């Protein structure tokens, strides 16, 4: 049976402390309300183009913050090492897979040029595949390393009242299977037709652009797992928040696609930067009050 869950704070998004019948104390936030930061106010929806731009820039602002602020020192080394190995292994695995796939297929008619392109074509196809798969793979492999970084980002924005949260390996794994795993399967299902259609001469690039835009939305759906899970909500609630704040989500997702193309940024810092970006952007998202405990 579905059970009620506390409404989220309109500022930080953490569940409010429930109403106390004995003391008469009203439901309140015991986190950001203690920060004393008068600049923290409940967000509201703005002009969609400005929100898209803000969501896009959030990833790169976060990268400068992660590398430049002393608060993050000592929290990045392990995350950057894991980020490096995940991205490099994923991309090289995709290049090998595309090369093997193209070599096994008999190409004829309008597809005959694929044979002539040879192994060169496997690299751009691997890049397209990375746009779809990298966000979910990085998130699946690194969630347990993000807690210290996210705790620091939330404290910078919300003040000292923001209590540290530890998701833990088991909880992160269950959330990944329930949510991010579903998204990864959807990405794989969409990736195959997009890659085939992208090979069509002249108009193939239209399918690449459309696929990149859709993958940007899925990027946000993957990465917003972190702030939503930290607040005790589930995949259904995550979908609602991303849908409600689609301009910010889309902007962030597009930035992640661009970030995958930037040398060194993609293999070293994109995971930690995305963590800080979604952790801070969540304070700017309009919150939704769930009627039941999300799954």
What is the pLDDT at residue 54?
A: 94
Check pLDDT > 70 for residue 106.
no
The pTM (predicted TM-score) of the whole model is 0.79
What is the pLDDT at residue 37?
A: 44
Please give the residue that has the higher pLDDT: either 268 or 4: 268
Percent of the chain residues past pLDDT 90, beyond the cut: 17
Angle at 246 between CA 10 and CA 52, to 5 degrees: 100
Tokens encoding 132 = 């779809």
What is the pLDDT at residue 14?
A: 87
Beta strands in 73-159 (DSSP E): none
What is the pLDDT at residue 25?
A: 52
Ramachandran angles phi, psi of 182, nearest 5°:
-65, -40
The pLDDT confidence band at residue 64, using thresholds 50, 70 and 90, is very high
Gap between the Cα atoms of 49 and 231, Å rounded: 28
Check: CB of residue 140 under 8 Å from CB of residue 184: yes
Gap between the Cα atoms of 91 and 134, Å rounded: 8
Gap between the Cα atoms of 132 and 211, Å rounded: 8
Gap between the Cα atoms of 211 and 223, Å rounded: 18
Please give the residue that has the higher pLDDT: either 188 or 294: 188
Lowest average pLDDT, out of 100-104, 138-142, 271-275, goes to 100-104
């Amino acid at each position: 049976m579905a059970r009620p869950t506390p409404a989220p704070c309109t500022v930080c998004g953490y569940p409010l402390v429930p109403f106390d019948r004995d003391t008469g104390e009203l439901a309140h936030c015991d986190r950001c309300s203690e920060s004393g930061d008068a600049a923290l106010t409940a967000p509201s929806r703005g002009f969609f183009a400005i929100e898209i731009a803000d969501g896009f820039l959030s990833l790169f602002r976060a990268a400068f913050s992660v590398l430049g602020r002393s608060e993050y020192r000592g929290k990045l080394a392990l995350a950057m090492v894991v980020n490096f190995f995940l991205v490099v292994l994923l991309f090289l695995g995709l290049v090998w897979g595309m090369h093997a796939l193209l070599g096994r297929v008999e190409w004829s008619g309008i597809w005959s040029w694929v044979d002539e392109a040879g192994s060169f074509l496997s690299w751009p196809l691997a890049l397209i595949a990375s746009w779809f798969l990298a966000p979910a793979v990085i998130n699946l492999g690194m969630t347990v390393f993000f807690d210290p970084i996210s705790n620091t980002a939330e404290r910078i924005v919300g003040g000292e009242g923001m209590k540290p949260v530890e998701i833990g390996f088991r909880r992160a794994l269950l959330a990944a299977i329930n949510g991010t795993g579903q998204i990864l399967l959807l990405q794989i299902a969409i990736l195959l037709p997009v890659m085939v259609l992208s090979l069509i001469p002249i108009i193939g690039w239209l399918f690449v652009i459309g696929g990149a835009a859709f993958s940007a939305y899925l990027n946000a759906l993957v990465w917003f797992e972190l702030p939503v899970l930290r607040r005790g909500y589930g995949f259904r609630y995550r979908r609602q928040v991303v849908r409600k704040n689609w301009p910010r989500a889309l902007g962030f997702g597009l930035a992640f696609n661009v970030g995958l193309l930037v040398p060194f940024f993609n293999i070293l810092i994109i995971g930690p930067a995305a963590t800080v970006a979604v952790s801070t952007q969540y304070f700017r998202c309009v919150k939704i009050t769930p009627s039941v405990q999300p799954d």
